[in-house]
Amino acid sequence: MLYPEAGFSKGEVVDYYAKVAGAIVPHLSGRAVTLRRFPEGVDDLDAAFFEKRCPKHRPKWVKTARVEAGPHAGKIDFCVCDSLPTLIWMAQLAAIELHPSLSLSRAPKRPTVLAFDLDPGPPADIVECCRVGLRLKEMFDHFGLQSFPKTSGSKGLQVYVPLNNKNTSYEITKPFAKAIAQLLEKQTPDQVVSKMKKEEREGKVFVDWSQNHQRKTTISVYSLRARKHPTASTPVTWDEVTHAAEKDDADSLVFEAGEVLERLEQHGDLFAPVLELEQELPEL
């Protein structure tokens, strides 16, 4: 039982990933992925660990990518999930959370997206995140850029701006993201913080721009999260975000494994354009 309180077993985790494979694999393919494994289930955080180095006992057909992991770690071999079998193998390792890089391993300095992680400081919740997310969308609309929201599957909301162009780099995206976060904070200092300090976050939304970094990872779309219930990071429409913000309806943006699969059948992959849309950030 990986989710004891929800009664969601390891078999069900594997089953979810098998069914969501068609949608999630394109988003993981070609990217170094960090596994967050919960061998004793989601309640035993002491047993849980992040795994960057792809396990040595992996099957031969699991692909890896040699990528810079940090100033001390140097280059290490990350797992790359490019197929259903690899995804199933990860799931049976109790790798509940999959955290891919924002860049492809063949071009590790070039992110394919600009990403914002909107993280609410209690008592703020995802509704406040939605309000900030809509302001983000408006800013990018001004520049004629499309942006795409997804739930973090945990407490917050994430906004991705697809780039997929060869001229970008983290040296461009990170300062840009930081400037956006600072501007949001300047406009509404009582609602937004751009700094990581926990104490300053109370009741505000932390616009985390720092994930636009070569060595950082962000939770994958469709990845399960290690919460009490098997919620997943789920792509949503801006209409849904607007609805949640207007109706103060946080629950409307919580999706568990079964609902995610239903939504996929209804809407297809709402995040598909993130992989294809070529956009360029404006020069400032």
Partner 1 sequence: MARAIWTGTISFGLLNVPVRLYSAVARRDIALRQIRESDGARIRNRRIAEGTDEEVPYGEIVKAFEITADRYVPLSKDELEALAPEKTRAIEVQDFVDLDQIDPIYFDSPYYLGPAEGAEKAYSLLARAMQESGKVAIARFVFRNKEHLAALRPGDGVLTLTTMRFADEVVAPSELEDVLPQGGQKVAKKEVEMAEQLIESLTTEFDPAAYSDEYREQLLALIERKAEGKEVLEAPETEAPKPTAAPDLMSALEESIAAVKEKRRPAKRKPPKKPAKKSRAKAKK
Contact region with partner 1 (CB under 8 A), list: 6-14, 21-29, 70-78, 118-126: 70-78
Structure tokens at 173: 């995206």
Contact region with partner 1 (CB under 8 A), list: 13-21, 58-66, 98-106, 192-200: 192-200
Residue in 25, 62, 139, 250 binding partner 1, rule: CB under 8 A: 139
What letter does residue 196 receive in the DSSP assignment?
Answer: -
Distance CA(4)–CA(117), nearest Å, equals 28
Q: How many residues can be counted in the chain?
A: 284
198 is an interface residue for partner 1 by CB under 8 A: yes
**Strand runs (DSSP E) across the chain, as ranges?**
32-37, 49-51, 63-70, 74-80, 95-100, 113-120, 148-151, 157-162, 192-193, 205-208
Distance CA(276)–CA(274), nearest Å, equals 6
- Enumerate residues 6+ apart whose C-beta is below 8 A from 73: 52
Q: How far is the CB of 140 from partner 1 (least distance, A)?
A: 9
Nearer to partner 1, 84 or 272 (CB): 272
Residues 73-132 that bind partner 1 (CB under 8 A): 73, 76
Instruction: Tell how strand 205-208 and strand 192-193 pair up.
Output: parallel
58 is an interface residue for partner 1 by CB under 8 A: no
With beta carbons less than 8 A apart as the criterion, state whether 162 and 146 touch. Answer: yes
Contact region with partner 1 (CB under 8 A), list: 7-15, 69-77, 85-93, 251-259: 69-77
Q: Which 3 state secondary structure label does DSSP give 227? A: coil
63 is an interface residue for partner 1 by CB under 8 A: no
Nearer to partner 1, 14 or 114 (CB): 114
With beta carbons less than 8 A apart as the criterion, state whether 35 and 62 touch. Answer: no
Residues 252-281 that bind partner 1 (CB under 8 A): 267-273, 277
What track of x and - describes contact with partner 1 for positions 38 through 57 (by CB under 8 A)?
----------xxxxxx----
33 is an interface residue for partner 1 by CB under 8 A: no
Interacting residue ranges for partner 1, rule: CB under 8 A: 48-53, 69-70, 72-73, 76, 137-139, 141-144, 146-147, 174-176, 178-180, 182-183, 186, 194-198, 209-210, 213, 216, 237-238, 267-273, 277, 282, 284
